[in-house]
Each structure stands twice: as structure tokens, then as C-alpha cells.
Structure 1
Amino acid sequence: MTNSEMVQFGLLTDATHQETWLPQILTWGAARCQTFTVVPGKLPAVMADIRGRGLVGVNLAGPFRRAVVPLVDTLTLRARQTQIVNTVRNDHGRLVGDNTMGAGLFQDLRARGLQVTGRRLVVLGAETLGQAIIAAAVDTGCSQIDVIVPVTASYASQATWLSGLAQMMDGTLRVHLATATTILARLVAQADVVIKATQGTDDPVSLAIMRQLHPGQLVVDGSALVRTSPFLVQAAQQGSETHTGWGCLIWQEALAFQFWTGKVLAVPAMEAELAAHLAPQSVARPSGR
């Protein structure tokens, strides 16, 4: 594909969130990236400028995924559910926001032959990534979704959002405080799939609860782009099958590309080539079964 044939997209980032993975993923596939470094207070002006550019869409780094919501013309259902936008399509000046973060995780699992339909799911955390995963999980047909929420400064807003979603789900979605250790231990032991949706490398639950993991379970660290993480190491020691968030990241970008263009990227081939060319010491190579 020549440069003239490649679609052009934008990446909105700031000085402290240089998400270098994102342009490399899509430029390796079928697009050219134009990076916009957005200074504080200038996001509205940048989005207004995007409308007139020849870009099929833009992806947004973490700091802008909530702030951009009122700046687009309309939202997809999953973006409305979460009020989080990680990608925007530019329809000749009309901006449409979407959230492919959670969908990317479940698409990655499906591509590896790992199904969650009819399974019991535990999600650890309900911040930005957690909410995207939870909203996407609603559409996967899980038999039960249990969300473990730590008591933090943002707990009240998370609880309000989860309560509204739970009311629409007739008991399928349940919310638990991370301090309810007896309940947590039982839920983790009974789960078919456990997903860590908190940022950072610290385990979101205690070692005693981690020891409830066992063979036959699938454990995913949605935030881990490295080969493994302390959370996954502990899960593997308990005999669980483990996966990082590397494939999730590739799929969320591929879904964004599909949202912009209607075209489906050859993700498995792209993933294999990227893993071979990008920082071998820090990239989780594809795993599947």
C-alpha cells in the first residue's frame, strides 16, 4: 500500500501521556498517524480543528477520554453507557465518539478461542478501563458479572454508574466492596474468568484472595502490556491460564480503524509482526490455544 492510498488518522496526547504504542499499531497496518500534543485547556480548539482536516478519525490518550464527550456530535451506545471515548470518527466534519477499549479485550479473547458467554466473570476495578470492560461484558452473554470496587476518592461516582447499569440487568451485574474479603474469596474461587482492570502493577486484592484462583480459570490483566505482571505471576502459580492486555490493545485499535473506515485489519498477522519488531523485552508475545 502506497502512502497516497493509506488513510490518515490523528492521535491526541499530552506531554505526560505519550502513548507511543498506538500510532505504531495502526501505521504498521494501514494508516498514517498525525500526533497532536494538546496543552491544558486547548482540547475544544483541537477538536474543532479536527473537523476540517482530512483525517478519518482520531484516537485519544487517557486524559482526554472523558473531556472529549461533550465536544463530539454523537456517541455510540457503548460510549454513551460509559461516557468514555477513546476514538472519534470524522464524518466530513461530524464527529462520532466510540469506546473500543472493553470490546477490544473480549474480541482478543474470542480470537484466541476463549469464550466468556455463559461464564461467571469477576472484574477487579471500575475506573476508566474497568467501566469499558464492564459495559462490553454486558453484551457478551456472561451468566454473572461481579465487580469488585476499592474504596477510593472516585468510589462514589463509580458506585453511581454501576448502580444505574445494574438496574437494567435484572441481577446479572452485582457490585461488591473490596473490603468484603469473605465474599471476595468466594467470588474469585467460583469465577470462570477474572479480569484485573486496575492500573499499575500492584495486586488489586490480597494474597489470600489470590490464592483462591485455581486451574480451569482464565485470568486477564487488562492493563499489562508487558510480558507478564505480578498479578499474572501469582495467577499462574495457582494454575490459572493467564493473558496480558497486549492483544486487547491491538484489537481496540483495530476496532477503531474499522469504526473509521469499515475495513477489517488482519490482526493476527499484525500482532505477530509487531511483537517481533517492537521492544522484545517489554512486549507480550501472542499467546493462544
Structure 2
Amino acid sequence: MFSVRKLYLTAIIISLSFLLILGCTKKDNKPSKAGKNKSTTQTYTDLKFDKSAVTSDPFNDPKGPYYHKVYKATSEDGLNFTRETEVMLDKASVPDIVKTKDGRLIIYAVDGSGRSFANLMLAISKDNGDSWKTGSLHIDTGDGQQIGAADPQAVLTDDGKIRLFYLVFPEKKPPLDENGQPKPTGEKTKIKSAISNDGINFKEEKGARYESTDFITDPDVVKIGNKWFMYVSKGRELIAASSTDGDTFKYDKSIRTTGSVSKTVATGGGKYRQFYCGDGGIDSAVTSDGLNWTDEEGSRLKTEQEEIICDPT
């Protein structure tokens, strides 16, 4: 078992005054191409990307990560956010952020520029977000190889380590239905995890935390009471799975049929707020038990013309 009591505090600081959002033309739910190469150890000093950035879309998808940008929005109350115009990360998708015990901010994201063998990148700030150093995230599978992953989500443990949850897609790309959504093929999409002492080099843990023959994306993991909850997206639907040990999650219920890709944070007094992608931007809901949610009125951040805002953290 592990605990994220510290994450609750830093998540409030980060998410209530430092909301990261993904700006793009359209949210893409197709699997990224997995990369695989030898895992090497990096430090902050020598942090870099595994290879040069591509000069054209490596996914051949006009709606994919190559065209995504990460922005910051700020708020005094956690309800009314103001978006900043500066692009934090270009050609990056599905961001997540964590504040470490030594005060660093680390963003994990899908690398849309094809620079990382594991498909994931990170950005580290030692000055509370004023400047960032970027490079490739390394996940060692145990045989010296790196795994191709997507949709990273970070949890800070009590002993200061970072546990990263991420998707591993089936080898075979699923066909799309008439709405452009992946159709189930019987192969399992898995959510795995890896642990790190420094937030840069990760060692994959054995087994899968959750798996499904449905095409799932965007894990969101939080501890509420004595249970761990994992919220995952199934298209526009958000479903919940729970665990008593944080290692094996089992399906609980559908949370909502419209409104997924979430980030859940503690707000104090045993309450939790979940930011998620709604019809017109970022919406939110609150809970005290992790399964029964009450939608909050209005949007936390509205979509501007000819764009989609999604993936809050």
C-alpha cells in the first residue's frame, strides 16, 4: 500500500492556482506508435531527448499530439480560471503535473514530436514554474528496454517517490466505428505503473493495475478515504474502478456518459473536485465518496472559437 496525503496538499496548490490544459483542434483517442529502445539513466543536469524532433507529423493524424499545445490557467478559488496566452509545451499532449517534496514541479506528457523512445516526455521546474527543462522520460521494463506508453498520470508517495500510471495499447491498432471511435477487438488495453526516486528514471512494476477489452484512455488516480479510485475514459464516458491496495483495480460503475478525461484533487474537509472535459470546455463535479458526484454549475474554463480545451491537471 502507499499513500498520497502529500499530493492532496500540493494538488490543491497546483490545481487551484495552476491548472494545466491541453489546447488542440480535437481530442485524439487513437493509440500512439510505441517506441522501444535501450533504457539509459539520466539526471537533471544531462536531461535531454532521446533523438531529434521529427519535421512532420509522426502519427499522420491532423488531430493528433503533433498539433497539441499545453497552456496554463490560474484561479483564486478553484472555480473561475483565467487562461494565460503563453504556450508552456508545444507538440505535447495529455499533461499531468506533480510537486515533489523538494519543491520541484514536474510535468509528464505524451511527446508529439517523436523525440522519446517511450513516447513520453517530462519538463522540470526548480523555480515554481518560471522556467522549465525538458527531456525524454525513461521507463525500464526490467530487461533493459523501454516501453511505449501514453497518457501519464503521476502520484506522489509518502516516501517522496513518484508512481506513474500510463497506458499500454494493444499491438494491433483497432478499427474505427462510424463516429471515428476505436471499436473493441477483444485485445486488452492495460494501465501499468512505474516507480521513480528522482522523477526522471522509472522502473516498471510487475503486472497491470487495470485492463479492459474496451478502448480506455486517460487514467486519473486518487485516494479517497481508505480506497484508491481510478477514473478512466471510454470515449466520452467516464468510468470508475477501485482498489484497496493501489495495485489491483476493479470496475465499479459509470460516473457519467458525457464528460471524461478527468483530474481529481482534494479540496479539504473530505471533499474532492474532479475537473473534466465537457462540451464547451473544462467542467467540474464534487464528491465525498469517489462514486457519487454532483456537477458544479457553469464551466471552469470555456473553449474559445475553433479550438478544443481538454486534459486538465
Q: Aligning the two structures, in what range does the TM-score lie when normalised by the shorter sequence?
A: under 0.3
Larger radius of gyration: 1
More strand by share: 2
* TM-score (norm. length: structure 2): 0.25
More helix by share: 1
